[in-house]
Structure 1
Amino acid sequence: MTHHEFQMNCTVNHTLFDDPLILPGQPGASHNHSFMGNLDTNASSTPDTLLNGSGTSCTVAQDKSAYWFPTLYRGDNQVISPDLQTIYYKSGIIDYKKVRPFPAGLRFYAGSPMFTEDQFKNAPGTVEGWECGDSTKNWTIPTYCAPGSQLNVRYQAPSCWDGVHLDSADHRSHMAYPVDGECPTDHPVAVPMIEMKISWPVSGDMTGVHLAPMTMPDGSVMNVNWHYDFMNGWDQTVLSALTQHCIDGGLQCTPHGNDIYKPWAGTVLDDAGNLVWQPNLT
């Protein structure tokens, strides 16, 4: 089987009532989010502050990107997994050799807190929906999960960029999903398709398990559906190397950029995390 991907592994490092994409510069104004990657992400974060931040909870030090999603609760208690989470960087188009790295400064969000169950089920980014144990393809959080199993959700982000804007007023319009395996003409640049697989150590009776609710302007409280945000904080040379070697090269790579099934193909980062595969930056 031919793959064209690499993965990142990151842990949740803090939670805040912040959203630097949707509510920038407004600390405490959002519903609660769980943040992975950059250790310093807060309401005032920008791509520049990420690059100058103190570090990352991802296993690759050169990925100081910010990844965040609504915090999961059981009743009034936050549920945070201590485990490494998986963020796949894949080709969303058939001609995977055309995929280019994210440009510096790119940010967007995938999914929507406003989605109905049917919209979530039929959205182009849905992979498997909510899962736990043998229960798969759920479009809401299951009411029961086998004891000892984990709840997880998978969802794909758009992977076609308009080639001009690093953000847009709705934080979505500069990105689009492929159509029939190709990027649409108004979003012609294929970039990595992020597919986040997030898990939580929660099982049994799930009736009190929910995503962090959102307080609306009129004071009402709304339950939200799955969504997540991305703000690029990559070392662009390393991101380019991983994209070219793994995605364009048709490999199935670890976070360091080696395919364990094709060791002859080489690696992007050595065991110490140093770049050993030089990308074409022209």
Structure 2
Amino acid sequence: MGRNIRKRRSPLAVRAIAASAALAIGGGGLVWANFYASAHEENSSTGTTKAATAQVATITCPDVGQRLTDVPSRARGEVDGELATLDQQITSAYQRLATTRDAQTRDANFVQNAILGPLKNNRSVIIDRIKLEISRVGGKAPSSLDGLSSCQGTPADQTNAGQDNGGQGGGGSADPAPSASAGDGGQQNGGGQQGGGQQAGNGGQAGNGPVAADFVDITKVRPNVPRKARTRSGGSTGVFTSSCGVNANKKYNTDNIIVAPGVTNGAHHTHDYVGNQSNDAFANNDTFAAARTTCANQGDKSSYYWPVVRIQNGKQDFDQNNDGGGKEGNVGIIQQARQAQIKFVGNPRSKVVAMPKFLRIITGDAKTTTNGLANANAHWSCTGFESKVQLTEQYPICPRGSSVVRTFAFQSCWDGVNTDSANHRTHVAFADARGNCSGGFKAIPQLTMRLVYDLPAPTVQNGQIKNAYAVDGFPEQLHKAATDHDDFVNVFDEGLMNKVVNCINRGQRCK
């Protein structure tokens, strides 16, 4: 994979105002504008409140990238560029939506005629380009692409942000627990959406969350962690640990080399990086292989990266005026994990085979507010509760003396051929509840990560959350807990990877 200096077609402004939109990688996104503020301003009349409530708050666009499961490798670079342009178009439409509230009040057809109609036309052009790029190299684009140009506008009181739009699907059988929702005591009035206006000014979020309903006292949640699959004869029980630090050297950027190679600020939120120290938008396999690593075992030059967590108490960090930071709704002080534990574990049903070098895996979905929970794989808990409660759709409020824990368990079945796929998902899969890899996939060492944070406990007062914490993300995703995700590029030396496999298959504990 060579250095990509591709220029984006049809560059559009990416600076969002008001609630700051972000680009939802893959060509789809839920764009959020905080219209509640105008409905509750001082001296606003009853008529003004009604008009503001009726205005469109979101633009929901189909996620084109997730439909592209079979793009020829020679076309992927250009297709990635076109997907980035689709995202730019959504951002431009959001800006138009956020700055034309008066016009929308005067003209009921304004959003359709001035925003949604032009957006559909612009998307149609780019979708046609995607189809052309695929056919140019002998591929065949999905016929369903023709129906993905239209986006929908939704009034603020009818949005489904924070709700389950897609089921738990792909979050399934990942250890330590499948994706789980809060039990008793977990839900509060507001559902994330109704709290939007109330949160304006909270750490600069201006309605982008989190809100009180996004948090739950973990002591009031019923246990929801199922038993682990029992290891059978022929299974693999070993554990290999790689110690790579907690990003004490503060390596941050807002790129995403997996989803948006060659696109600066392709993630539109800030990542922590440990391991490989050369990961940015323009890295390639040669770059990774030659890089330094923070891992204690120098044979592990893998890149491990995840969205930062911030405390949203009104204070700002170094990136308050930067793309991917404050300009795109990611505000507050970045919190460094106290522990970042990286382990590779086995499979209860079979031995594991070596991961191919430069294998790329994304676990979780940064856009669950748009896409639903089908690919959600977020696990939030507290020390002392991890074996009993794991949350997907809410952040835990931990009791005194307990720390917040984020856990990731990556896909552990590989197709045996590809190091990546067009939608960055179909080359790997989760094992089923008993540990079986289906469809001819092979069991590989399962990457698990555990991040521990010492955070002040948030408090809920009068329906508002104080000292909230939240994971970085696209602001249109409202900083929901379910949007948490993690990324991995395997850059183990061949000898060390063989050691990992042997260690796991022999039931040993190694590092």
Q: Report the counterpart of residue 357 of structure 2 in structure 1.
A: 104
Q: Report the counterpart of residue 479 of structure 2 in structure 1.
A: 223
Listed as ranges, the matches of 1:11-90 within 5 Å are: 11-13=245-247, 14-30=251-267, 31-53=269-291, 55-75=292-312, 76-81=331-336, 83-90=338-345
Higher-strand-fraction structure = 1
Q: Which has the higher contact order (CA 8 A, sep 6+)?
A: 1
Matched residue of 1:94: which SS?
coil
Tell me, yes or no, if structure 1 residue 199 matches structure 2 residue 452.
yes
Deviations 1:124-144 (A, max 9, x none): 956xx2112445322244352
Deviations 1:192-232 (A, max 9, x none): 111111122213116421111215xxxx4643511111101
- Assess, with a 3 A threshold, how the Cα gap between structure 1 residues 141 and 81 changes in structure 2: closer, same or farther: farther
Tell me, yes or no, if structure 1 residue 132 matches structure 2 residue 382.
yes
**Alignment counterpart, residue 491 of structure 2, candidates 218, 226, 233:** 233
Alpha-carbon contact 1:79-1:202 (below 8 Å) kept = no
Higher Cα radius of gyration: 2
Deviations 1:38-74 (A, max 9, x none): 1221112233311101x21222111110011111111
Alpha-carbon contact 1:149-1:203 (below 8 Å) kept = no
Q: Report the counterpart of residue 259 of structure 1 in structure 2.
A: none
> Hey, what's the Cα distance between the residues in 1 that align with 2:455 and 2:437?
38
**Alignment counterpart, residue 422 of structure 2, candidates 162, 169, 176:** 169
Matched residue of 1:210: which SS?
strand
Displacement of 1:108 in angstroms is 1.4
Q: Report the counterpart of residue 213 of structure 1 in structure 2.
A: 473
Unaligned segments of structure 2, at least 5 residues: 1-230, 313-330, 460-464
- Assess, with a 3 A threshold, how the Cα gap between structure 1 residues 101 and 85 changes in structure 2: closer, same or farther: same
Alpha-carbon contact 2:245-2:295 (below 8 Å) kept = yes
Q: Report the counterpart of residue 504 of structure 2 in structure 1.
A: 247
Matched residue of 1:41: which SS?
coil
1:152 maps to a residue whose letter is: V
Alpha-carbon contact 1:39-1:56 (below 8 Å) kept = yes
Alpha-carbon contact 1:133-1:146 (below 8 Å) kept = no
**Alignment counterpart, residue 181 of structure 1, candidates 420, 435, 444:** 435
> Hey, what's the Cα distance between the residues in 2 that align with 1:131 and 1:37?
25
Q: Percent identity?
A: 25
Alpha-carbon contact 1:9-1:84 (below 8 Å) kept = no
TM-score by length of 1: 0.76
Alpha-carbon contact 1:93-1:178 (below 8 Å) kept = no
> Hey, what's the Cα distance between the residues in 2 that align with 1:52 and 1:84?
27
2:457 maps to a residue whose letter is: G
TM-score by length of 2: 0.44
1:43 maps to a residue whose letter is: A
Deviations 1:215-268 (A, max 9, x none): 5xxxx4643511111101111111111221x111012x242xxxxxxxxxxxxx
Matched residue of 2:499: which SS?
helix
Alpha-carbon contact 2:345-2:445 (below 8 Å) kept = yes
Alpha-carbon contact 2:237-2:348 (below 8 Å) kept = no
> Hey, what's the Cα distance between the residues in 2 that align with 1:177 and 1:124?
12
Unaligned segments of structure 1, at least 5 residues: 256-282
Q: Report the counterpart of residue 203 of structure 2 in structure 1.
A: none
Alpha-carbon contact 2:380-2:396 (below 8 Å) kept = no
- Assess, with a 3 A threshold, how the Cα gap between structure 1 residues 125 and 68 changes in structure 2: closer, same or farther: same
Displacement of 1:147 in angstroms is 3.8
